[in-house]
């Protein structure tokens, strides 16, 4: 029994030793596995942090760095670093971009086609309609203002461009818009857009605006335009006729008024001159009269009679009422004049 017990005891010790060795190896493997997982997790975290810390900006971009949502600065192209999960970078395209006004780029739906037709239809200073297409080129001048000063800066720019285009085109005639005035119109629109963009301060700058096409409107609008043009011509004709009548009557009335004024002035001056002469004459006569009143009275009497007698018919009568002996002075004068004429003719014939 003692031998059997020793054998049993030795067998039990051998079994325990084998189980302990197996448990130790398992624990060792578990530790190695945990270490490997930790290393992998650490590597992943390092890579994630590195990925979040390093970023690159392309050549035609600029980046806006925000810290806790607040814009801090602008970075240019190249490799840059940021604080992971705290800072964020928003990339902004700084290349020249553009959009059309009055036409569609590519295939447009029917609804969009109507919208573009409405954009292109404009009225000129001579009340004509014209379809004008524009292309606007712009770029981002300030990325921070572009991102945070407005929600839709491109839409604001387009509204500004449409307003300026209609404002400028309305100051030109249809011939200028379609033919010779395109360069001047483009320059005027460009200056107005730049001024309004400065006022809005949305971080965009205008590079260029150009007229792509300008043509008369559709047939429906042409018919309406003809009706308006006919009414305008009728209005101008009526105005011209009224102005013609006015131009004819006003000079005529002015001439008559001037003639009346001139006649009145002439009569006035004649009266003044006559009165002045009479005053001078009277003063001279008065001076002579004061020297010798009797002679002056006789001279005045004779002068008065000279003025009066040529218009008076004189009859010489002997005072007896015998009409046969009445002599008419005018008949005697005529008879004497005839005799004098006859004697002169006879003398001339004798010679």
Please answer whether residues 63 and 87 qualify as being in contact, where contact means their C-beta atoms are separated by less than 8 angstroms.
Answer: no
pLDDT over threshold 90, residue 171: yes
Secondary structure (DSSP) of 213-262: EEE---HHHHHHHHHHHHHHHHHHHHHHHHHHHHHHHHHHHHHHHHHHHH
149 in helix, strand or coil? coil
Q: Write the DSSP assignment of 151-200 as a string of letters.
A: S-HHHHHHHHHHHHHHHHHTTS-HHIIIIITHHHHHHHHHHHHHHHHHHH
Crossing angle, helix 182-200 and helix 153-169, to 10 degrees?
140
Question: 137 with 96: CB under 8 angstroms?
Answer: yes
Where residue 347 falls among pLDDT bands split at 50, 70, 90? low
pLDDT-derived band at 3 (thresholds 50, 70, 90) equals very low
Residue 86 DSSP class:
T
| Domain layout of the chain by residue ranges | 54-93, 97-217, 237-304, 313-350
For residues 8 and 91, the model is more confident at 91
Give the C-alpha distances (Å, rounded to integers) separating 185 from 115, 165, 177, 181, 251.
23, 9, 8, 6, 43
In the predicted structure, residue 4 carries a pLDDT above the cut 50: no
Choice between 294 and 222, residue whose per-residue pLDDT is larger = 294
C-beta separation of 59 from 93 below 8 A: no
Tokens 């604001």, residue located: 156
Cα angle, residue 125 at apex, residues 123 and 130 outer, rounded to 5° = 30
Helix (H, G, I), strand (E, B) or coil at 92: strand
A 10 A CB-CB count for 115 gives: 14
313: its two tokens: 């018919």
CA angle (137, 142, 146) in 5-degree steps: 75
Dist CA 328 CA 314 (whole Å): 6
**Domain 97-217 homologous superfamily, CATH:** Band 7 domain (3.30.479.30)
pLDDT confidence band for 283 (50 / 70 / 90): confident
Angle at 184 between CA 181 and CA 190, to 5 degrees: 135
In this structure, the strands spanning 87-93 and 78-81 are: unpaired
DSSP string, 30-67: HHHHHHHHHHHHHHHHHHHHHHHHEEEE-TTEEEEEEE
218 Cβ contact partners less than 8 Å away, ≥ 6 residues apart: 131
Q: Name the more confident of 162 and 331.
A: 162
User: β-strand 129-140 against 204-215: which pairing, if any?
Assistant: antiparallel
Residue 10 pLDDT > 70, yes or no?
Answer: no
pLDDT in tens, 291-343: 877 877 777 777 787 777 666 565 555 556 555 544 445 555 555 555 556 65
- Contact assessment for residue 141 and residue 205, using Cβ atoms and an 8 Å cutoff: yes
Cα separation, 179 vs 223, whole angstroms:
22
Name the band, by pLDDT with cuts 50, 70 and 90, for residue 175.
confident
What pLDDT score was predicted for residue 114? 66
């Amino acid at each position: 029994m003692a031998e059997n017990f020793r054998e049993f005891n030795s067998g039990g010790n051998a079994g325990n030793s084998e189980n302990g060795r197996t448990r130790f190896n398992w624990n060792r493997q578990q530790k190695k596995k945990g270490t490997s997982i930790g290393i992998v997790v650490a590597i992943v975290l390092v890579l994630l942090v590195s990925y979040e810390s390093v970023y690159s900006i392309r050549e035609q971009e600029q980046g806006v760095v925000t810290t806790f949502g607040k814009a801090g600065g602008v970075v240019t192209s190249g490799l840059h670093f940021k604080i992971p999960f705290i800072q964020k970078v928003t990339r902004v395209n700084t290349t020249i971009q553009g959009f059309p006004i009055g036409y569609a780029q590519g295939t447009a739906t029917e609804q969009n086609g109507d919208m573009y037709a409405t954009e292109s239809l404009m009225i000129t200073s001579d009340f004509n309609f014209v379809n004008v297409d524009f292309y606007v080129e712009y770029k981002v001048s300030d990325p921070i203002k572009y991102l945070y000063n407005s929600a839709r800066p491109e839409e604001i720019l387009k509204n500004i461009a449409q307003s300026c285009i209609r404002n400028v085109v309305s100051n030109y005639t249809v011939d200028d818009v379609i033919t010779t005035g395109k360069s001047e119109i483009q320059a005027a629109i460009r200056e107005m857009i730049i001024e309004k963009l400065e006022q809005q301060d949305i971080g965009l700058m205008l590079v260029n605006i150009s007229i792509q096409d300008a043509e008369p409107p559709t047939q429906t609008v042409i018919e309406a335009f003809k009706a308006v043009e006919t009414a305008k011509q009728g209005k101008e004709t009526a105005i011209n006729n009224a102005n013609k009548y006015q131009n004819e009557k006003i000079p005529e009335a002015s001439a008559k008024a001037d003639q009346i004024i001139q006649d009145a002035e002439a009569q006035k001056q004649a009266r003044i001159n006559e009165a002045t002469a009479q005053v001078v004459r009277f003063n001279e006569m008065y001076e002579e009269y004061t020297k010798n009143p009797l002679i002056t009275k006789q001279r005045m009497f004779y002068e008065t009679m000279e003025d009066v007698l040529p218009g008076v018919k004189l009859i010489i009568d002997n005072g007896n009422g015998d009409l046969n002996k009445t002599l008419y002075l005018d008949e005697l004068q005529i008879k004497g004049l005839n005799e004098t004429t006859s004697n002169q003719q006879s003398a001339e014939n004798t010679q």
